[in-house]
Structure formats: C-alpha cells, structure tokens
Copies of this chain bind each other. A is one copy, B any other.
Amino acid sequence: MNTLATPLAHALRTGPDRVAILDGALRRSYRELALRCEKLAGMLDALGVAPGDRVAILSANSPQYLEVYQGVPAAGFVVVPLNTRHAEPELRYALEDSTSRVLLSDRDPSALAEVVDRVVRLPDEYEALLAAARPRPLGLGIDENTLAGLFYTGGTTGASKGVMLSHRNLLANTFHWMSLSPPAPDDVSLIMAPLFHAAGSNAVLANVWNAGAQVPLPAFEPKAALDAIERHGVHVSLLVPTMLAALAEEQIANPRRVSTLRVLAHGGSPIASEVVRRAHQAFPGTELIELYGATELSPLATGLRHEEALLESPLVRSCGQPLLGVEVEVVDEAGDPLPAGEIGEVAVRGANVMQGYWNKPEQTAEVLKGGWYRTGDLGYLDPRAHLFLVDRAKDMIVSGGENVYGTEVEEVLHEHPAVLEAAVFGIPDEKWGEAVCAVVVPRYEIAPDDLIAFCRERLGGYKVPKRIDLSSEPLPKSGPGKVLKRELREPYWRGHDRRVG
C-alpha cells in the first residue's frame, strides 16, 4: 500500500531525469534524489537508528530538508521537524518527549546535543556521512498506518503536543490538495514557508508524485522570493498571509516577471481582504487560494479557490468549502451538527485526521471523538458549506502564521515574583496579523520591559509579548473565576476587524 516512499518511487519510475530540486546552480534529478534518500536510509541504519525510531531535524529549508522530510519516513523511521523559531527549552521538550535518537541540525545545537544519541550537522557532516553510506531500499517494513512524523505544536509544557501523522494521513491530504489545485508534471514549486510547518510541506508530496521541481528558499525574504520566481519560472507556492503581504508590496514596488505563477495559496492565519486585494494587484494572472486546516489534519480542511475573484463578495471572508475527502461540520457541545448559519465548534473527519497526540491519550480523547477532530475553532457554515470562522475556542493567538497559546505565556509570566495576575491574548498587528499582548496585575512596581526580557529568556521569540500593560485593578472574571479575556481584549480591537482564518 502507499507510503511516503510511493511518490518518490513514482517520480523515479516516470521521470528519472526530471529535475527534482533547483537551488541556485544546483539541479538535482529524481534519480539523484532517490539515490540520496536510499543513502540516507543506509546512513541512519549505520548510526544505529532502528525502525520506528524518531529522527529530528532543525533546519532552514534546504535541498537536504526535502530529502529528510520524505526519506526518513520512507526508510521506516519517524521524522520530527522542529520549529527553528523555538527557544532551547521548547526544542529540548520536543526532543525529549519524542525520544529522538538523532538530530540533524544546520545550527549549533549547544545543550540539545545531550538529549539525543547523535547530532549530525547540516550540511557538511551530513553530506560526508551520506557520501560514505550504502544505499538501501525504501518502503520496506512499513505500511500506510505506520507513523510517518511527529509535528510539535507550540509550547514547553503540557500545552505542547506531538501530532502523530501516519503515511496514510499525509498521502490522503496530498490527494485532497490535488483535488483542490491540480498540479502539472511541469510544475516548479517554490517552498517559501518553513518546511517544519504544514504551509511549507503541504504541497511537497503532490509535487514529487507529479515529478515536478522544488525550489527551497532558506529564509523568506520578499526580494529573494521574487528573484527565485523569475529565475526558475515558478508556478506554485504556499505561504502565510504575512509573507503574501510582503511579497505583494515588493512586487508592486519592483515588478519582476511573474507570469509563470499559476497559484499562490495561503493559510495558517487570518488574512485581511486588503492583503488579498494587494496580492491580486501585484499578481494579476495568479489564482489566490485560501486554505484552512490544522497540523492535526495533515493539514487541510477547507479551501477557497479564486479568492481574487471574490473581492466584492462576502465569500472572500470565508475559508472556503471542505476539500474532497474531508468532511467538515459545525457542532454543538454534544457534538451534534448544527444547521447552516449557527455558530459552533468546527469538527473535521477524513483519512487526513491524525492518529493522536504522542503519549497523550487523554488529550487525544479530548479532541478525537468518533473519528471527528474537534478543531477548537468556532465558526459557521453557509448554505453551500462555506466555512466562516468567528473565533478560536482554544486560547490561541496566531502571530505571523505561528500559533501561540496564551496559557503558556501566562505560566511563564507567573514565574516572575512581581506577577499577581496575568492574561495573554492577541491584539491587532499590521505586520503579524496578531501580536501577543499581556495585561498584568503586579504585586510591586515593575517595568513592562523587565517582564518582556524575563519572557525572552524562556520562550521562542514569537511568543514573547510585544506589549505588556499593567493594571492596578483585578482582572475581570466570570462567576466561576475564569478571566474574561474577551472583555480585556475588546478595547484593543475596537475599530479593527478581528477575523480568524
């Protein structure tokens, strides 16, 4: 049955000489890529990694990342893509929780090295080991229900969970994505968003299956991205809204030849209609697609095609309709589907739904019910099943495409002796969509900047509050003592359009 070895094997059979990876002057064929993946399997065997063992990667996008993403699961191991924006305690948590044996890292792993058996530095040490390795076949000893990857969602504490995606989960999503936006064998795909994120890796398997070419961009930078689009004649890219906004502004200021660009898809966080408008102005011949999903969904649930044609329609504010193969319902607290127009929790079912959270049966049971994944997002469906999100049921802030759980930041703030009460939520931010904000009731006089510095030592940069406001009053609470964040948040959002997507 199909596994992550299948798309690569298919590309090797149908287009061995086609270009798999374009990177600067590098042109790597599928024959070369397949051989390198087989050598990667042999290299990990030689390092003592056993079937089912976890292999973590901490790296910017690179040609090596693309082979690790597919080759590690295809070889029978489990890939653990780490978020390069996480601070050391967060990375350590993911490595320890997953008991990863090997860490492939393009940066000094410092204290992380002690958590794993072996660190292999990218690219030099990796390349040397690969050159010396004996290739061995992929796809053996695994089936579609084998665990392919653990994808960690935010946090150092209990809030952080390893999302278990099987080979079938990821391949189901690949077909769902292809049914929305059919790729072509000649497609050149630019990987702008980080590969450790669903937005970066979502289209990789579809492109490989079609024997198309990938251009990995190590770090998003609008000028470099547009140069790559022009140089390589890119057809497709997926990105987060903040990247799309920056890309559009750069293209309007300094136009490149981008007529090859067929699709720009975005997801991971809300998008303002103004960004869609500017993106359409910058890329008039390009289809804009909005995607909604979650890591737990491998990741796609809904899609809105030709968003640029809907600018004058209320549909532009929707996340689109369920993809083929994905069922989406809005349910009440008992899990029963609500009629169109009624707001409830978004629930999703399909072969793309994760196996569960690694070593977290209770948290798994909370979100997986009868085959349905409860997203924690609140929304409604219109009579044609367009999903409109209205809020996140979970206490989550989306900043520049990264999810931040308010509770996690609150816990860190409470570690500071000056903090009596703290509430963390998102506030509008032109660049990041939302920024992390805290309201703190102090025990004694303290400067907000000191609290921010305190957080910076303990949290990934994107989680650190951009703004901390002090309050001499106790925080507003509901009857049972729950902090009324919506009330706290309200003055910051007045006049803004708080839309989640």
Contacts and interface: CB of A to CB of B under 8 A. Distances in A.
Interface string A2-14: 1000110110011
Interface in A3-56: 6-7, 9-10, 13-16
Contacts of A2: 325, 327, 350-351
A209 B457 CA distance: 51
A397 B209 CA distance: 35
A321 B209 CA distance: 12
A322 B10 contact: yes
Given A14-B384, A371-B1, A385-B13, A175 B325 contact: yes
Nearest to A183: B179
A381 to B, nearest CB: 8
A209 B350 CA distance: 14
A178 interface: yes
A14 B340 CA distance: 11
A129 B51 CA distance: 58
B384 A16 contact: yes
A210 interface: yes
Interface string A314-340: 000000011011010000000000000
B179 A327 contact: no
A65 to B, nearest CB: 23
A235 interface: no
Contacts of A182: 178-179, 182
Interface string A247-284: 00000000000000000000000000000000000000
A399 to B, nearest CB: 32
Interface string A388-403: 0000000000000000
B14 A321 contact: yes
A383 interface: yes
A201 B233 CA distance: 39
A13 B384 contact: yes
A16 B175 contact: no
Nearest to A144: B351
A374 interface: no
Interface string A297-329: 000000000000000000000000110110100
Contacts of A381: 13
User: What 6 A-B pairs come out closest when comparing CB atoms?
Assistant: A182-B182, A13-B385, A175-B175, A14-B385, A14-B321, A209-B324
